[in-house]
Amino acid sequence: MEIDPFGDAAGGVFARWHASPALTRAATEALERADHQAHALQHLGVIVEAMRNAMRAILISAGYEVRDEDDIRVLELRIVAGPVSQTEHG
């Protein structure tokens, strides 16, 4: 989770999954070698996509409003609004 306190369009609350340091390092090394078919890089992509989808589903189920982020925060979800509490319904 990250909270960007600025009031501009870039601010807000963001959720992102971080893979293990070892896998991240292996994927980074593959990118440095321009080895786009490396297993570590492919595996990291699968993990990031699966976890992002899981986080989105869990947050929505819990009543949060989430949005995919733009090209600056491509791996993150923006949490737009929290669940409405039962006391707010009257």
Question: Which residues in the chain come in under a pLDDT of 50?
Answer: 89-90
| Exposed / middle / buried, residue 84 (Cβ in 10 Å: 0-12, 13-18, 19+) | exposed
Domain span including residue 24: 2-89
Q: What's the total number of domains in the chain?
A: 1
- 20-28, long-range: CB < 8 A, 24+ apart: 23/47
Q: What pLDDT is attached to residue 87? A: 55
Three-state DSSP class for residue 18? coil
For 15-39, the pLDDT digits (tens) are: 888 899 999 999 999 999 999 999 9
**To the nearest whole number, what is the mean pLDDT of the chain?**
84
Q: How far apart are CA 17 and CA 34, in angstroms?
A: 24
